[in-house]
Structure 1
Amino acid sequence: MKVRVKAWELALGYLPPRKEQQRSALDRKRREYRVLTREFADVFTLSTEETLPASATASQQQQYACLRQIRVDIPRTFSELSIFTSERIQKMMERILYIWAARNPTPGYVQGINDILTPFVVILLQAKAGLPIKDVNVDDETLFSDGELMEVESDAYWLLSRVLSDIKDYYTPGQPGIQRLILRLKDIVKRVDEKLASHLEDEM
């Protein structure tokens, strides 16, 4: 389980390849994430059950809309797995997704980013507990202290950030990343089978 986590951390460039640099890099990123959670702490006390007052600024309205959408999506995320029904995990995911969105206003949070986050939460919890995910009880504080869960949260945030940095333009208006992929695919099909490429073009 720990090997899988290390593979993700190295493949995504979260950890440096040189082993002697990894511990200090991990500690630095975890400290950096704790600073971010303190910076945005007030946002997470907002109630999204009530409407904002008319005097709310544009920035407050944006914060509210983002947080509200995240809170709608999280309970729907892999609800068949008990860990994702845990309040501790839902709050963790809320912080990760909101902080990422606040630091990346274009595209900000969009539905589907929560699903990209879940594999990282799963593998990190499994590695920390040394158990298969079906046997992990995140509400057991003897298994996971708040500090250990914060390490999982921090690592999940940075892994998500690394993935999204490569596909961010799939989510921006006009989806330029997807458009580039389509053009590349068209070019490949044309080179391999010009007749098929022509047929597909006619059908569009």
Structure 2
Amino acid sequence: MIMAMKAFPFAASLLPRKFYQRDPLLVAPDLLNKILVCRTDGRAGRIVEVEAYRGADDPAAHSYRGRTPRTAVMFGPVGRMYVYFTYGMHWCSNVVCGAEGDGNAVLIRALEPVAGLDGMRAARPLAKRDRELCNGPARLAQALGISGAQNGEDLVKGNAYALVDDGMRPPEQAVQTTRIGLSKAADYPWRWYVPDNVYISRK
């Protein structure tokens, strides 16, 4: 379905539910170059870095030990946002995927801003350059106004936040590495990013 997103500068298609009904190791690299958009004010960024988390198969996943009040969204319908609070000060945004009940998600680690930059700058006044607006999961959440209020937000319906495809395909040779900042399963190569992109969190 092609639709003109409210307060968005070009037509794009909402990602369908079936996009998310796959293993997170497939969903994660396919999310590269998709766009996360806040529909209320048009702030948007192209996804350039992601990490996959694979439920009971992944000691680093919040869902590894089963469903809890904090992780309930991860075990629910796919295509929803799982937003969690970390270090007592930051929000981070994930996309639930796989099969319902598996506890899988993909962490959005970095965006390349494409619209609503004035709003992002206002939300992140300490960013010295535009490349610092969304180059990390906590930074992009702040830049797009994502908080715990969005936990469980349905990205397929796209009422407030949406993931859309504007026709740009994922890179043919995305860089694949181990994930960042983990003490468990630190050797799992489940991080992908767009090569040579200056907006990723780190190489």
Larger relative contact order (Cα-Cα within 8 Å, sequence gap ≥ 6): 2
Q: Say which one has the larger Rg.
A: 1
The question of a shared fold, defined as TM-score above 0.5 by the shorter chain, is answered with no
- TM-score, scaled to structure 1: 0.24
Larger fraction in strand: 2
- TM-score, scaled to structure 2: 0.24
Larger fraction in helix: 1
